[in-house]
Structure 1
Amino acid sequence: MNASDFEGVFPAITTKMDAAEDVDIQAVRADVRFQIDAGVDGVIVCGSLGEASSLNADEKVAIAEAAVAEAAGGSPIIMTIAEDSTRAAIDLVRRVEKAGVNGLMVLPAMRYLSDPRETMGYFRTIAANTELPIILYNNPVAYTVDLLPEHFQQLADEKKFVAVKESSADTRRINQIIDLVGDRYKLLIGVDDLALESLVLGCVGWIAGLVVAFPRETVAIYRLVREGRVAEAMEIYRWFLPLLSLDIGPKFVQKIKLAEHAVRGTSPVVRAPRYPLVGDEEAQALAIIKRGLENRPDLTKYGF
C-alpha cells in the first residue's frame, strides 16, 4: 500500500459466528465482497468490532487469509493488531504478513496500561519487525492509553507509520496534529458520530462501524464531503446519526451485529462473554434500526 491508499472509507467488519460461536469463514468472505461491491476503499479485519479480544491467533490468521483471498488484490486488507504483549503482537504480525495482508492497524498492547514511552516503544518495535505500512490507533475512551499530538510528532520519523486513527472524541486534536506535523500522517476518524465534522476538519479517511450494515450511505457521505458538497452530506448524516449512536458503548458489537442482521440477514451471534441484547436494550436498538430503515435516504438524489 502507498500512503495515498489510506484515504477513503474503511469498514471495520464484524466477525460472523455460527450458532456454536465458531468463526464462519465463508461469511467473512461474503462480508468482504459486500463491502467491496459497495465501493469502500479497503477492509479492516479483527478489530474491536470484529471481537478481537475473543479470537485466538489461529482464527485471526484464518480470517486474514479469507479476506485476502476474497479481495484478490482488488482492495487492501488491513489487519488489526490488538494483543496482550509485544511478543504476541510481533508473532501475529509475521503470520498475517505471510497471509498477504496489505497493512496493519496497531492498538496499544491490551490489559497493561502503558505510559507514552512504553506505548511508543511498542509501536516502534512492531514497525521494526514488519515491512507493512501501519495505522496507529489512538482510542483513550475505550482503552485508557492516550497518545497526544506531540507524541505523534515524536513518532513521525518512522516511515512505516503512515496514518493515525484518531478516536479520542476530541476533534481539536485533528488540527493540533496537523499544526505539529502538517500532512505527515493520513488522519482517519474512528468515531462514527463525529465523522462528518472530522472530515471537514482535515481527516482524509473514515474507519467506520455502521458501514457494515450501510456501506453505500457511508461512502456517499465521505465522497460528498470530499467534493465540497457538505450540505448534501449533512442531509444523509443527520438521518444516519441515530444509527451511528449504536457504535457507542460497551455493547456496540451486539448492537451493530443486530443492525446487520436486520438489514442484511446476517448472523447476530456474538461470542461469550458477550451475550445477545435482551429487554429494553434490544428494544431500543431495534427501534433505532427500524426508524432508520423506514426513513432510509434515496441516494440517487445525490448521484449514488
Structure 2
Amino acid sequence: MARFEGVYVALVTPFTETYEVDYKRLHELCNWLVENGVHGLVPSGSLGEYATFTREERAKIIDTVVEAAAGRVPVMVGTAAPSTKQAVEWVEYSKDAGAEGVMALPPINYNPLENEVIAHYEALNRVGLPIIAYNNPRDYPTDLTPDLLSKLSKFKNIVGVKEFTGDIRRVHDILDQTNLEVMIGVDDLALEGPLMGATGWISGVPNALPKEGVELFNLGREGKVKEAMEMYRNLLPLMHYDANPQLVQSIKYMMELAGQPAGPTRPPRLPLSDNYYAKIKKDYERAVGANS
C-alpha cells in the first residue's frame, strides 16, 4: 500500500496586492481543498513560488498549512534549497512542524555528479521523514532515471518519486526497476498515470478544480477509461498549462475564475497578456461546462 495515495495539491501561495503572503487566505484555501476531497497538501513547491520566500515566510507557510490541514489530510512539504544543508534544515523543520513527508529535488544549482545526488538524498534521509524524490529534468539539471532511483530507493525514507518528465513510459520503468511509489507530476498525464500504476498525483489545476481532479484520478485508478475519457478530454487543454513555464500565473487565474482568488504572482513572474488569459478562460469554461 502506497504511503501517499490520491490527489495531492501543489499549493499556490496567496499574495496581497502588495505581494505580502496572505496567510489567512492560504488557510481558507487549504480548508476549501480538503472539504472538496483532495487527499493531501503540498506547500513550498515551485507552483507555490518558494524561491521568492524569506526564511520567515517559508516557515510560517508550512505552519499555516499544517494547522489548516488539522490532521484531516497529510502535508508534504517542498524542501528545495540552494545547498544540501539548507534542504536538510527544511526537512527537519517540516518534521518538527508535523508534516507527514517532504518532496525533495536533487541539487538545483548546477549539474551534479551521480555520487553528489546520492549524497544529497542520503543527508535528507537521515532526518527520518518520508521523502518523495522530485524528478523534473524539464526545469532542473538532473534526471532521476529509473537506474538512479533504484539506488536512491535503498535509503529507508525515500518512498516514492514525483515523476515530471511527461513520458508515461517512465512510470512502467520505475515500477519495474524500483520499490518506489509513483506520483504523477504533470497534470496532462492525470489519467494515463493512474491507469499505468501511479498511486498518487501531485497536481496543479486542482487548486481551482479539486472535485474534478479527484474524480478523474479515481476513475483512472479504477480503470474506468470510458467513464473518464470525455471528462479528461475537456479538462486536458487546461491541464496543459501545468507543464508550461507560465504555470503559476495560469493556475492563479483559473482560481480567480473558480471564485477562489489567490492574488498576483511575485516578480520576476509578471501578469500575462490579455490574449493569454482569454485562452485560459475559454479552456476553463469548456472544462467546467462539460463537467457541470
Q: Distance in 1 between matches of 2:279 and 2:57?
A: 32
Q: Distance in 1 between matches of 2:143 and 2:223?
A: 32
CA contact (8 A) 1:115 1:145 kept: no
SS at match of 2:139: helix
1:151 to 148, 151, 162: 148
Residue pairs, 1:280-295, within 5 angstroms: 280-293=275-288, 295=289
Q: CA deviation at 1:117?
A: 2.2
CA contact (8 A) 2:207 2:255 kept: yes
1:197 to 166, 178, 192: 192
Question: Could you give the per-residue CA deviations for residues 246-299 of structure 1, whole angstroms, max 9, x where no partner exists?
Answer: 212211100100000111241331111111112332332233223333x2413x
1:131 to 114, 128, 151: 128
Q: Distance in 1 between matches of 2:63 and 2:150?
A: 34
CA contact (8 A) 1:116 1:146 kept: no
CA contact (8 A) 2:208 2:260 kept: no
Q: Distance in 1 between matches of 2:197 and 2:220?
A: 11
Structure 2 unpaired stretches of 5+: none
CA contact (8 A) 1:8 1:205 kept: yes
Identity %: 36
Question: Could you give the per-residue CA deviations for residues 100-129 of structure 1, whole angstroms, max 9, x where no partner exists?
Answer: 11110001232222233212221111111x
Structure 1 unpaired stretches of 5+: 299-304
Instruction: Go from structure 1 to structure 2 and tell me whether the alpha carbon gap of 1:56 and 1:112 turns closer, same or farther (over 3 Å shift).
Output: farther
TM (norm. structure 2) is 0.96
Are 1:250 and 2:245 an aligned pair? yes
CA contact (8 A) 2:187 2:203 kept: yes
SS at match of 2:96: helix
Residue pairs, 1:170-209, within 5 angstroms: 170-181=167-178, 184-209=179-204
CA contact (8 A) 2:192 2:220 kept: no
CA contact (8 A) 1:164 1:188 kept: yes
CA contact (8 A) 2:204 2:251 kept: yes
- The runs of at least 4 consecutive aligned structure 1 residues that moved more than 4 Å come to none
SS at match of 1:140: coil
Q: CA deviation at 1:207?
A: 0.8
Corresponding pairs, count = 292
Q: Distance in 1 between matches of 2:101 and 2:261?
A: 27
